[in-house]
Structure 1
């Protein structure tokens, strides 16, 4: 899937590519996400019948063609005019869920009208009533799950965006936060316009009481994204949360935060099956999905690669990325001696020590 990133780099303005690719601070957490996968090896089993090997799984109680969901990523229309509609259609064709972001450039109602399995990602806003209104709006639109992002009291210092004085391209807006559209497009004297906008919109007072309020306000499965500490995962399950996504936000929040893959085993052990556990950050191929399953995840979220596919080829580009991921996962499962995704969770793993400087 690195080919998709190279193809996207050839057509995207450098500041847009930086907005998607970049992380916070010195980008240690960003690099560590990929390095975490590179350190984990699985022990294949042999003499297993894999002639009927399949990638099917279940996420949040619903069947999927592979244990993958498209992660929430803001402003798809930055990279292609069809935006989230193209990505959602490609996800539908691939048989995987697509997550509409609060900062989507297309309204959720238009995305769900395209069909397929759609989840909605929610940021807790300073205007609490608007947060609950967005949750109800997503439910009314036909979304199948709510995903509350819990690791963004404000946006991390993403130095590429600061240096680029990043602002949204003309014609791109936050479809669910209309009042902020002009401010996101305004290029300030210094820094990132997107960071300034989210600082005004997002609440730094998100607490467990907000989670419980949201849990009581919706019938949909509730997912918390951005959990790394086992204690927080246990508290989430006790609060009635259906799943957690073990994540350091793609290396875009606290620089130096533990990679999701490294945090995953302890979270899985701590919750003991009381809620589903997914992981994101650094997934770049089918072997990575196999690795996450072997470490106890029910599935993975993938964010940047579909955006690269969208930039390079619109809906067809996203389809190619997801088709490649499914092909690689099927190949990895079979070569590991697994007739299906359930078998991957019984594989042994070995984690090599981190290389020195």
Structure 2
């Protein structure tokens, strides 16, 4: 019986065969060159938003340094010729332990960004966590997933009916889970954006989930109809950006330049998008408001992880928001080790922040993650080649994970453990 060709050899074979015909991958297969080439394609504002971090960037460095503190120990003559990368997380079957993380305001990088990302994720067969700060309504992005599972990220608004409306829409369009992001009740100090005076949401980018929502539009229209003595300053450029979104929204809301509603929509969003007063008791109410699995994203402390489980969540995404919220924070990988040690083997833990390669995924899984979220790299692929760029980035990461498992004698994800790693020498 012939052994099944794994995704690692399959991807290598495609690249090398095309190479004999003089073709090279349109998306680099190494993380450093992927980042360099993507930067050349992006505007200054796009690069600042996507690649920038909080403060002096220490947390982003910590994320990478944490992976550097571990070494993989290959094993020989193990006789394993096939690997099983499949798993299930929060009731969602995965062909590989990888999901695409939510990244807001993707239209800074490419128009119709969310649709392109969804198409790339579907082509690669991995779920996408639809961003609450997306540039296309969730219904349109969900349709582009073409049956591939997806989750929905929720920023908990100060308006509770809007929370229910967003969750209800996610349920209606087929989301398999709700991911509540906890670490962005306020924006962190992001000098790259601040130095450019660039906040995409103030320009109407990344608020399509809101402007396509009936509850939000009710609030925006009420605001537009209310005289205000000191309105928030929103530029004509912002209104033009909003008008350019008309194709993605039903009706003619964005089509009248003289209407005060586009300005009111931006102002309303800036007022209510996230709730600084969110606490565990309020979070626990979500369990009775949706039948979907609930995960929380942004947890770094074992005590917070325990509180989340007590609040009824089904999984925890260990994340420092890619180093974008608190400077000099703990690395997500280090937090994963502490949380897994505190909670034991049963709870579902995912790792976000710092993942760049298949080897990184291997290390995270060996240290206790059930799956990983890939953030910036898929946006870099989007910048270089749209949906196909996203697909290539995902397939490269999965290929390297498969090959790393093969070369360490790991037949399945359940076989991954800290015994396959050793700490790096000091």
Q: Same fold (TM over 0.5)?
A: yes
Partner of 2:406: 334
Task: Give the Cα–Cα distance (whole angstroms) in 2 for the partners of residues 340 and 91 of structure 1.
Answer: 23
Confirm whether residue 163 of structure 1 aligns to residue 195 of structure 2. yes
Task: Give the Cα–Cα distance (whole angstroms) in 1 for the partners of residues 77 and 271 of structure 2.
Answer: 56
Partner of 2:372: 300
Confirm whether residue 141 of structure 1 aligns to residue 173 of structure 2. yes
Partner of 2:39: 9
Alignment equivalent of 1:32, drawn from 62, 65, 81 = 62
Task: Give the Cα–Cα distance (whole angstroms) in 2 for the partners of residues 202 and 183 of structure 1.
Answer: 20
- Deviation string 1:172-223 (CA, Å, 9 cap, x unpaired) is 441012268x959749xxxxxx9x9656521100101121111111111100
SS in structure 2 at match of 1:176: helix
Contact kept, 8 Å, 1:34 with 1:281, in 2: the verdict is no
Task: Give the Cα–Cα distance (whole angstroms) in 2 for the partners of residues 201 and 222 of structure 1.
Answer: 20
5+ long unaligned stretches in structure 2 = 1-30, 212-216, 221-232, 240-265
Alignment equivalent of 1:232, drawn from 293, 304, 316 = 304
Alignment of 1:245-256 (within 5 A): 245-256=317-328
Partner of 1:244: 316
**Could you tell me the TM-score, scaled by structure 2's length?**
0.77
Cα drift, residue 76 of structure 1: 1.8
Alignment equivalent of 1:61, drawn from 63, 69, 91 = 91
Confirm whether residue 81 of structure 1 aligns to residue 114 of structure 2. no
Cα drift, residue 231 of structure 1: 1.1
Task: Give the Cα–Cα distance (whole angstroms) in 1 for the partners of residues 234 and 314 of structure 2.
Answer: 35
Cα drift, residue 30 of structure 1: 1.1
Task: Give the Cα–Cα distance (whole angstroms) in 2 for the partners of residues 183 and 20 of structure 1.
Answer: 23
**Could you tell me the TM-score, scaled by structure 1's length?**
0.91
- Deviation string 1:98-129 (CA, Å, 9 cap, x unpaired) is 01111010111111112211100001111122
The change in CA–CA distance for 1:237 and 1:28 in structure 2 (over 3 A counts) is: same
Partner of 1:90: 120
- Deviation string 1:130-165 (CA, Å, 9 cap, x unpaired) is 112111111111100000001112010100000011
Partner of 2:287: 215
SS in structure 2 at match of 1:224: strand
5+ long unaligned stretches in structure 1 = 188-193
Contact kept, 8 Å, 2:362 with 2:401, in 1: the verdict is yes
Deviates further, 95-104 or 272-281: 272-281
Contact kept, 8 Å, 1:294 with 1:344, in 2: the verdict is yes
SS in structure 2 at match of 1:177: helix
Confirm whether residue 177 of structure 1 aligns to residue 249 of structure 2. no
Confirm whether residue 70 of structure 1 aligns to residue 100 of structure 2. yes
Alignment of 1:36-51 (within 5 A): 36-51=66-81
Task: Give the Cα–Cα distance (whole angstroms) in 1 for the partners of residues 425 and 329 of structure 2.
Answer: 18
The change in CA–CA distance for 1:270 and 1:39 in structure 2 (over 3 A counts) is: same
CA RMSD of aligned residues (A): 2.3
The change in CA–CA distance for 1:45 and 1:237 in structure 2 (over 3 A counts) is: farther
Contact kept, 8 Å, 1:82 with 1:314, in 2: the verdict is no
User: Which of these two proteins has the greater Rg computed from alpha carbons?
Assistant: 2
Confirm whether residue 118 of structure 1 aligns to residue 150 of structure 2. yes
SS in structure 2 at match of 1:55: coil
SS in structure 2 at match of 1:6: helix
Cα drift, residue 10 of structure 1: 1.7
